[in-house]
A and B are shown apart, each in its own frame.
Chain A
C-alpha cells in the first residue's frame, strides 16, 4: 500500500471502529460482571483490560448505565468494603441479566466461532477474483 493508502486505511479503520463501538458498552459491562461482582472503578479497569484498551468508559457514563440496568432489573448490587473509604456498591448480574447475556451471545457472537465465518476471520488472505 502507498503512504496515501495507509493514511486512508487508518482513517477508515478509525471511522469503522467508532461506529462499531457504539452499542458495545453493554456487552463489555455484562462480560466483566459475568467474571464476578465489581464496583464502578473496578468495572472500568476490567473493561479496559478485557478490550485491550480499545474500549474505555467514563465513570459517569458507567454510573448512569448501571443505574439504568438496575432499574430494568438486569443488574443488582450489594454493599462492600471500600479501600480506606465509604462502602462501595458491588454490581452483579441478576438472573435476567445473565440470561440476556447468554441469549445475546448465542445469537450474535457465537456464530463468529463457527465455520465458514471462523475460517474467514482467521484467514488473512483474500479470495482472488479473475
Chain B
C-alpha cells in the first residue's frame, strides 16, 4: 500500500501541464482583453482538473486500497498549482493584469480548506483497519 502511487504521479504531471497551458493562455487572453475567452479557458481548466482527478482517483481506488478521503489528490493539486503559479511569477511570465497577491490569497484560503480536509480524513480514519476502510475489506 503506497501513498505516492502511479496514478497520483500521473495526475500531478497532467495537472502541471494543464496549469502551465492555462497560465500561458490566460496571460495572452488578458493582454488581448478577450474577457469572454478568459471565462471559457478558466472553466475548461477547472473541468479538466476535475475529470482528470476523478479518473485517476477512481483507477487508484481499484489498484490501491489506501483510504484517504481524497486528501492526497487535494494536497497534490494545492502543491502543483501553487508551485507552478509561483514559478510563473518568479520567471516573470505573467501579464500586466495578474498579480502574485491573488495567488497568495488563493493559497491561504485553500490551505484552510486543506486543514479541514485533513481533519475530516483523521476522523474518517477511525473507520479503517490498517488504512483500509472497513466496508472495503470484505467485498
Footprint of B on A, CB under 8 Å?
A: 22-23, 25-26, 64-65, 67-68, 71-72
Task: Assess whether A71 is in contact with B132, with CB atoms less than 8 Å apart.
Answer: yes
- Min CB gap A99→B, angstroms: 15
Task: Assess whether A71 is in contact with B62, with CB atoms less than 8 Å apart.
Answer: no
Task: Assess whether B1 is in contact with A71, with CB atoms less than 8 Å apart.
Answer: yes
Q: A68-B132, A72-B130 are in contact. Are A26 and B62 (CB under 8 A)?
A: no
- Min CB gap A22→B, angstroms: 8
Task: Assess whether A71 is in contact with B139, with CB atoms less than 8 Å apart.
Answer: no
Q: A71-B1, A71-B65 are in contact. Are A65 and B139 (CB under 8 A)?
A: yes
- Min CB gap B116→A, angstroms: 29
The 3 A-B residue pairs whose C-beta atoms are closest, nearest first, are A26-B138, A68-B65, A71-B1
Measured in the bound complex, the distance between the Cα atoms of B65 and A41 in whole Å is 22
Task: Assess whether B132 is in contact with A72, with CB atoms less than 8 Å apart.
Answer: yes
- Min CB gap B81→A, angstroms: 31
> What are 24 residue pairs bridging A and B, where the CB atoms are less than 8 Å apart in the complex?
A22-B139, A23-B138, A23-B139, A25-B138, A25-B139, A26-B138, A26-B139, A64-B62, A64-B63, A64-B65, A67-B65, A68-B65, A68-B132, A68-B136, A68-B137, A71-B1, A71-B65, A71-B130, A71-B131, A71-B132, A72-B129, A72-B130, A72-B132, A72-B137
Measured in the bound complex, the distance between the Cα atoms of B132 and A23 in whole Å is 16
Footprint of A on B, CB under 8 Å?
A: 1, 62-63, 65, 129-132, 136-139
Query: Which chain A positions have C-beta within 8 A of B132?
Result: 68, 71-72
Query: Which chain B positions have C-beta within 8 A of A67?
Result: 65
Q: Which residue of B lies closest to A23 (CB)?
A: B138
Query: Which chain B positions have C-beta within 8 A of A64?
Result: 62-63, 65
Q: Which residue of A lies closest to B65 (CB)?
A: A68
Query: Which chain B positions have C-beta within 8 A of A22?
Result: 139
Query: Which chain B positions have C-beta within 8 A of A65?
Result: 139
Measured in the bound complex, the distance between the Cα atoms of B131 and A68 in whole Å is 10
Query: Which chain A positions have C-beta within 8 A of B1?
Result: 71
Measured in the bound complex, the distance between the Cα atoms of B63 and A125 in whole Å is 47
- Min CB gap B114→A, angstroms: 27
Query: Which chain B positions have C-beta within 8 A of A26?
Result: 138-139
- Specify which of B62, B129, B138 lies most central, judged by the most chain A CB atoms within 10 Å of its CB: B138
Measured in the bound complex, the distance between the Cα atoms of B136 and A68 in whole Å is 9
Measured in the bound complex, the distance between the Cα atoms of B131 and A22 in whole Å is 22
Measured in the bound complex, the distance between the Cα atoms of B63 and A65 in whole Å is 10
